[in-house]
Structure 1
Amino acid sequence: MKVLHITYSEKGGAGIAAKRLHSALHQNGVSSAYLSTNLTINFKDEVIIDDFFKYTKPSLVKKIGLKILNLFPLSQRGRLSKKIKNYKKEKDFEIISSPFSHFKLQNHPLYKEADIINLHWVSGILDYPSFFKKCKKPIVWTFHDMNSFLGMFHYKNDYNKASLELHNFNVKIEKIQKKCIENIKKGVIITPSKWLLQEVNKSGFFENYITETIFNSVDLDLFSIKKRVVLRTKYGLSNYEFVILFVAEDVGNYRKGFDLLLESLRYIKSIKPTILTIGIDNPDSYKDVKVISLGKISDEKKMAEIYNVADVFILPSREDNLPNVILESFASGVPIISFNVGGIKEHVLNNKTGFISEELNGISLSEKIVEFYNSKDNFNSLSIREYAKDNFSYHKQYKDYLKIYKELLKND
């Protein structure tokens, strides 16, 4: 059995989750490969030089051909692609994607070698019309957001605030997605959360697919409980500070809700926390709050240390699936405070792994921060880590996926 994982990038939440699944399978004896725009790992688990996604200058013949094509009216695909490019320039949305791509994944050597294709976050590299028409291999598609059934959009908040004109255009994109997906005869949709599975089933896009929930995994050897006092000294923090950790690729991302965390602190007079932020940030813009910005960190060993200096991880997302930070925080024995949204609510359990704020606003969040502060000694880091071991281990994820792969091949 050879399984090929395809994702846009090794960076970002989806890319990291896909790479962890690849590692989980490889460590348990399954032949697995990983294909992305910036990292390719073959079935021997070797990182290889791969020019597949690199730009190549068009030949003279191709240039002449393109000039001739420009003299004629655009095809339907061309017209749609041009419109999507224009919508992408709008700053009101976190991300907008196209179902079209000039890459032909089905031509990659690793694709040809694979028995099963496991798609992940593939916006920008998956050409729906050509791929789903030509792919005859069994497909497992692991969803990391809602793009595969929301047209150009990835999140409901963006979808809901679109103008009527944009909604009408997006209906065309949804129809293209659905028509292309119907070409797949053997496929399984995997979601890392039960919430996303419900959204998938409501969409009506995947009636020919089996749909299941399998949680993402985390390296429990890397993310573990470490000596807090030693690490706080290393990062210039005293052992008496109440340290809140916040992590996002971009701290200013509206969906991630850092503004709600700052708002919540305005309602708290008795606690003066220190906030550590990981991600693109501008700490000079914060007033009356101690914020230490550590910037973007790609070194997972360093991230594993930073979790351990925190008293609590606050995840105030307005919308989210199952962020890797939940798994990493729990594996480090650190509780989480978050809102009652998406897949987050399935794992942040009151008085056990953290606290859920039922109302999505700063006041409600402030109440949970105070409640946690007054009861923080009741949380057991070993119990929180046990929860991670029970739910997010490489071995559990490997077993669950292997069962799916075997069923697909058995009926092939």
Structure 2
Amino acid sequence: MKVLLVNTFDSGGAANACLRLHAGLLRAGVQSKVLLREQQKKTHQVFVYQPQPKRKTKNQKFITKIKSLLKRFGILHVDPNDKKVQFLKERDTRLEYFSFPDTPFDITNSPLYQEADIIHLHWVAEFLDFETFFRKNTKPVVWTFHDMNPFSGGEHYEETYLGMNEDGFPMDRMVSKEEQSIFKKNTALKQRALKGVANLHIVTLCRWMYNEVGKNSFFQRYPRSIIPNGIDSSVFKNRDRSDARKLLNLPLDKKVILFVADSVDKTRKGFAFLQKAFDLMDDEKIILCSIGGQAQAMTGNNQYIALGRIEDEITMSHAYSAADVFVIPSLMDNLPNTVLESLMCGTPVIGFPVGGIVDMVQHGKNGYLTKEKNAESLRRTIVQFLNEGQNLNREQIRNEAMHTYDQNVQVENHLQLYNTLLGKKQITTP
């Protein structure tokens, strides 16, 4: 079986999930390859797309000539691409990524595509050209939805909040008429491209995304399965806490709350809520410890330690093992890799009751979920954990995580799906 996984980049959460699946498939004897738009690191059987300009149809060539003439006579002033650039420039930086469904890439021209038995799309924003790919594709396609972009009007998360008020509550977001217009155009383009396409199977990582797809009047027609991401349990495992703290120069006599300090300016990530909750606690026995590239966000706080960016997975597992608890304050999320990693290391997790976090965190067993999405509720939940959560069994947390999130489980589920699609059989959806 020859499987081609497609992802835009080789860094980021979705890329990590894609590459982990690729590694697992290779170990299982599958002829797996990965096609990227941009590559930063060398990985076995991972290749970068060699740009080949799409051939223009006669109609497209005619339209290009007409536009050129209109511009020459001053009738046409604004290029559609310029409108896109302007829209993205004016988009609030607190919102998540936005991408359009049309790109200059035609991955069906790639020899990797042509030799594959099955195509598995992952996070393909600004790489997959909807119209070209779905018109020319002749192979079974699996598409893992790492966010909402495949079925949205361009947003990667359809955010309903923007910012936090002085009382620590999320503020409602107002969507402009211009945004609504662009969303509508992008959605129409996607639906036109997919009209008549039958060889598509959607994989969601959690029940929340499964249900969100089901609410979409167009995408609900496609069969879908829930297959969570998996990670290498031999790397992410519970290590001795004292040794881990010594390795990372963390105090042995403090309660360590771990979080990821990337994209701290994005409302969805919820950093402002964690920061306010921590300020409200004012407990000298607690240390807030961050991993990530934007750790400067709390510079000057003597109860704050920044470990910086950590690329090595073994060091990451030591960081989780060193912590008393991992906090993820996301207001919206799919199936965060950080939560999987924390649980596999036996470290409890605290988060808002949103998205796939609800699937992963069992309140009172492997962590705690807040009752509400605000800073005060987060503070109370952290305090509750510090008072009660020390009794949670870290070994049991890891063992239960392995049943669902071990990489071998993920690979087995995907192989079953691939074989079903190649055998042209129907697969039962949950």
Say whether the fold is shared (TM-score over 0.5): yes
User: Within the alignment, does 1:148 sit opposite 2:150 as a pair?
Assistant: yes
Gaps of 5+ in 1: 56-64
Distance 1:86 1:366 in 2: 40
How far off is 1:147 after superposition? 0.5
Tell me if the contact between 1:215 and 1:397 (Cα under 8 Å) persists in the aligned partners: yes
- State the match for 1:136 in structure 2: 138
Which amino acid in 2 is paired with 1:148? P
Distance 2:46 2:25 in 1: 19
Tell me if the contact between 1:34 and 1:41 (Cα under 8 Å) persists in the aligned partners: no
- State the match for 2:393 in structure 1: 380
Gaps of 5+ in 2: 54-61, 162-172, 426-430
Which amino acid in 1 is paired with 2:394? S
Which amino acid in 1 is paired with 2:130? Y
Matches within 5 A, 1:214-363: 214-270=227-283, 272-283=285-296, 285-286=298-299, 288=301, 290-363=303-376
Q: How many residue pairs get matched?
A: 399
Which amino acid in 1 is paired with 2:14? A
User: Within the alignment, does 1:71 sit opposite 2:59 as a pair?
Assistant: no
Distance 2:112 2:97 in 1: 29
CA change 1:66–1:296 in 2 (3 A) is farther
Distance 2:275 2:40 in 1: 40
Q: What TM-score, normalized to structure 2?
A: 0.86
CA change 1:205–1:354 in 2 (3 A) is same
- Secondary structure at the counterpart of residue 249 of structure 1: coil
Distance 1:271 1:257 in 2: 23
Q: What TM-score, normalized to structure 1?
A: 0.90
Matches within 5 A, 1:1-150: 1-39=1-39, 46-47=44-45, 50=48, 52-53=50-51, 71-73=68-70, 80-92=80-92, 93-150=95-152
- State the match for 1:195 in structure 2: 208
Cα distance per residue 1:20-46 (max 9 Å; x no partner) = 11122221122211111334999xx84
Decide which of 206, 212, 227 is 2:225's aligned counterpart: 212
How far off is 1:270 after superposition? 4.5
Distance 1:276 1:270 in 2: 14
CA change 1:49–1:205 in 2 (3 A) is closer
Decide which of 176, 189, 192 is 1:176's aligned counterpart: 189
How far off is 1:236 after superposition? 1.6
Which amino acid in 1 is paired with 2:113? Y
Task: Determine what percentage of the aligned residue pairs are the same residue.
Answer: 36
Which amino acid in 2 is paired with 1:139? V
Distance 1:193 1:284 in 2: 31
Cα distance per residue 1:289-314 (max 9 Å; x no partner) = 52222222222222122111111000
- Secondary structure at the counterpart of residue 223 of structure 1: coil
CA RMSD of superposed structures (Å): 2.7
Cα distance per residue 1:146-178 (max 9 Å; x no partner) = 011111111111696320221023111101111
How far off is 1:73 after superposition? 4.7
How far off is 1:287 after superposition? 5.2
CA change 1:369–1:155 in 2 (3 A) is same
How far off is 1:320 after superposition? 0.3
Return 201-210 or 102-111, whichever deviates more: 201-210
- Secondary structure at the counterpart of residue 90 of structure 2: coil
Distance 1:281 1:218 in 2: 25
How far off is 1:248 after superposition? 4.5
Cα distance per residue 1:322-345 (max 9 Å; x no partner) = 010111001111000000111111
How far off is 1:48 after superposition? 6.0
Distance 2:282 2:303 in 1: 14
- Secondary structure at the counterpart of residue 173 of structure 1: helix
Distance 2:385 2:120 in 1: 40
CA change 1:73–1:389 in 2 (3 A) is farther
Tell me if the contact between 1:274 and 1:291 (Cα under 8 Å) persists in the aligned partners: yes
Decide which of 392, 401, 405 is 2:405's aligned counterpart: 392
Distance 2:362 2:18 in 1: 26
Which amino acid in 1 is paired with 2:278? L
Distance 2:275 2:41 in 1: 41
Tell me if the contact between 1:249 and 1:296 (Cα under 8 Å) persists in the aligned partners: no
